[in-house]
A and B are shown apart, each in its own frame.
Chain A
Amino acid sequence: MKRTLAILLLVLVCAASVSAEGSARLTIAYQYGLAYAPVVVAMQQGLIEKAYADAAGGELEIEWVQMSSGADINTGVMSGSVDVGFMGVGPALTGISKNVGYRIFSSLSGQEHGLMSSDPEIKSLSDIIGSGSQIALVNIGSIQHIILARALSLNGSDPHALDANLVAMKHPDGMNALLTGSLPLHLTTNPYIYRERETEGLYEIEELKSAWPKENSFIVGVAAIEMHDSEPELYAALCSGLSAAIEYVNGNIEATAELTSQYDGNAVEDEIRYLQMGNYSAETRGVEEMAAFMFENGFIEADPGSYADLVFDNVKGN
């Protein structure tokens, strides 16, 4: 029995040490959708590898992993199998407050959010409060939920006044539910919000538009503190490669659209429009404000700290 246990432990320890080994290797996790367009560009054009070769002269091997939620990426970073991840500002701040062991190294994109109503009687947040009308959004505790809470707060209402009205379902399911009249409200983002705005007979709740405008950081990149501290050249290559990708997206919208439409299945013309409506920038905006709001309203339990605790030294913004 003792021997079996010892062997098992040995195997586990070996497996763990192997995955932590290798200096010029990087595992980057990202998610699905247009908000991640610069990541797709960096991946396709090898921009981070190029930056590493130019600065350090070595070869960098990157493993790209597509994951389906920030929570998955958080687990990956914690276990040491993911070095860099791209996720919503909400899960990133949750991870930082939980001491997952990463900080924000760059903003990636800001996107528009909108709350669409199919009921002509519902045109403002105050029409919903106390009505029991259901609001579809992607997850309870998601960034969309936090944005709704912020809109309520800015409007002078209780940020949790609509918590009981929420229904968690994926973006496309929520859009279907709204369009078929299964529920009257859907809070969503790019590209679904654009499609819903183009649909006749739907009304937009104006208060939500300004709660988290596209100028604010929506998707951010996080990097393991260990990697930042022990491999500064690799970290520098990551930052410069990604900013080159962001620059490319902003300067070559059509070429980017050609590339990303292969993954999204949208028509290129639509893709161009959606890309133009996004805001791609490495500079963060509103991150500290978001952290404070989440902590004050119970979306995270521990105080994540000030801006300097949230991002690495080289990051610009607020």
Chain B
Amino acid sequence: MSALLKIEGLSKVYDDDSAELAVIDNLNMTVEQGEFLCILGPSGCGKTTLLRCIAGFERCTGRILVNGEQITGPGTDRIMVFQDFNQLFPWLTVEKNIQFGLKRQGIRDREQLARITADVLKKVRMHGYGRHYPYQLSGGMKQRVAIARALALKPSIILMDEPFAALDAITRNTLQQEVLAISREENCTFIFITHNIQEGIVLGTRLMLMEPGGRIAIDIRNPIARPVSPSSPGYGALWDRLYAALYDTQRGNPV
């Protein structure tokens, strides 16, 4: 069985007039169906760029294949959940935001749309908020709706770029638990970027650590059985290992 996502010789250079800056240099990796991949790394290591390349927002060299087919741009098989709370369209209600992509896919039947909407809203515990406009929601609620909007389209991969980084610690923990629950129910692959080690260990079935220049320093299967808590056996050792690696890469980072 071939991998769900296959990246071959990916390079991305930001052409900044004066200097060329290679953010990612000849990166190769694969992601299997059903994996929850957490990518850790210091700021500027290229993890967001990698995610944006996979989403199809960036021009890059090399090949990115999803289900064996090379991608050419953004698509509904790879839905991005951004860090910014303002990713929902403010001119649409919560339910219209969720149905937006579905309608583009040609689903016109009202009942079907309503059923899918209710279903995904329930999954993110936002049922009853369908008629609200985004500005009426808190940051955490907006991120939940953004996840629901992604789930509704049944993508092959959900790409999450530090979606909880701007949330308070309590909301963040709650949302981690919900995403974890969703990932176990849905037959969906996640690539989740974070610089929070705890978040990575709690959510990821696989953990990856990137160094500046887009090199992969660590790529391991998460050895701790779910559900993970700080008291789970092995948590401390794994945390220490990732922390040391992260600290190391950060020290090597000129920025």
Q: Do chains A and B directly touch (beta carbons under 8 Å) in the complex?
A: no
Interface set of A (CB-CB < 8 Å, partner B): none
